[in-house]
Amino acid sequence: MRYASGQVLTPHGFIDGHIGFEDGVVREIGKGGVKSAVAHGIIVPTLINSHTHIADYLVPLDLHQPLENLVAPPDGLKHRVLERTSDRNLKKAMVSMSLFMRGRGVTQFVDFREGGFEGSKLLSSLRGGSPKPFILGRPKKLQFDWEEVDQILSTCEGIGVSSIADWDYGVISDLAAYVRSKGKTFALHASERVREDIDKVLDLKPSFLVHMTMATKADIDACAQADVTIVVCARSNLFFGREPPLAEMVRSGARIALGTDNAMICLPDILLEMEFAGRLLRKQGITDLQPVFDMATKNGRKLLNEKGPIAIEGIEPGQPCDFMVIRSHGGDPFTDLVLRSSSTDPLMVCMGREAWRGPL
């Protein structure tokens, strides 16, 4: 059996202790360190990046373009670039960003994958390694063709589309209902550029929403009451001059997860995203940092509908290995994790039988 020691996050909070693991399973949690530990630091569940567009890494960013010109379907800059890029180069970009996340403690990520069936199939070729992609494909055009959607769903976990402002509402309603009827995830961007009718958005019965930067308090309360997770991508939003109402979301009791959005704008560094969210939350009047850590761990796992003995609230014996050891800076562990951890601080990441060290 191998061991890691330090400050271990359990369902009852942090303890000074150690974790023993073998054959892809956590076998032991105990107090006190062990001399034979392979890593020493803060021991917590791994991180989830709940919203990415990793193929966008190869899109040349035009700093002078507004949001809609860059990313809005079907003719935004990114869509034109992705359409004319070879599968080989697209896959190269996706592998690069996947490895980038792997070295920074991310073991699963949710990608809104453009390109129809071919696009989602290309990303699905990354399955079998770490991190695991949770793929939400989308039709090539702003149309609902059930045969195309069936093809896409054969390669991925569901459908993730742009906002209702881009779609004919009747068409997106039919698409959402069809995806749900197949038992798959349906998610969409909401109130990113302009405020959208939250009743219409929630009538689609989405699994989760992304952004909500232009949402009102009533909109956020409606999401909390409907138990619909909101994924916040604060760095990307601030790039376009929009500040997500993160504190309002926390106060409302809404479930919040963190994503990094388009890789042409923000590299998929969820550690940096946590720091940014923590500072933004403090600016908006909330000083408690644990909610930020929860956004990147347990709330992301709940968004994935994970069930069974996984590390949601903390690490326990009998769970499959899904933890990381990150360098301690000698302070409160949540402060160290959220405000004082950089891409060089993950010392070891363990998922199942696989374990790796720091950034690659």
Q: How far apart are CA 94 and CA 100, in angstroms?
A: 10
CA angle 317, 294, 162 (to 5 degrees): 125
pLDDT score at 312: 78
Amino acid at 268: P
Q: Is the pLDDT of residue 307 over 70?
A: no
Six-digit token string for 198: 């939250």
Same domain, residue pair 11 and 76: no
Tell me what the mean pLDDT of segment 246-269 comes to: 97
Q: Which is it for strands 322-326 and 39-45: parallel, antiparallel or unpaired?
A: antiparallel
Quickly state the pLDDT bin for 350 (edges 50, 70, 90). Answer: very high
Domain interval for residue 90? 47-303
Q: Are 295 and 278 in contact (CB under 8 A)?
A: no
Tell me the mean pLDDT in the region 243-262: 98
Closest CA to 133 of 230, 55, 45, 76: 55
**Measuring CA to CA, which residue among 265, 267, 269 is closest to residue 77?**
265
Q: How confident is the model at residue 358 (pLDDT cuts 50, 70, 90)?
A: low
Q: 329 by DSSP, 3-state: which? A: coil
Q: Are residues 119 and 162 in the same domain?
A: yes
| Domain co-membership, 171 together with 219 | yes
Q: What is the pLDDT of residue 308?
A: 66
Whether the predicted pLDDT of 238 surpasses 80: yes
Query: Distance (Å, rounded) from C-alpha 3 to C-alpha 5?
Result: 7
CA nearest to 120, candidates 111, 107, 129, 109: 111
Answer whether residue 65 shows pLDDT above 90: no
Q: What angle, 0 to 180 degrees and rounded to 10, lies between the N-to-C axes of helices 116-124 and 146-153?
A: 10
Whether residues 153 and 291 fall in one domain: yes
Same domain as 212, residue 95: yes
Same domain, 23 and 95: no
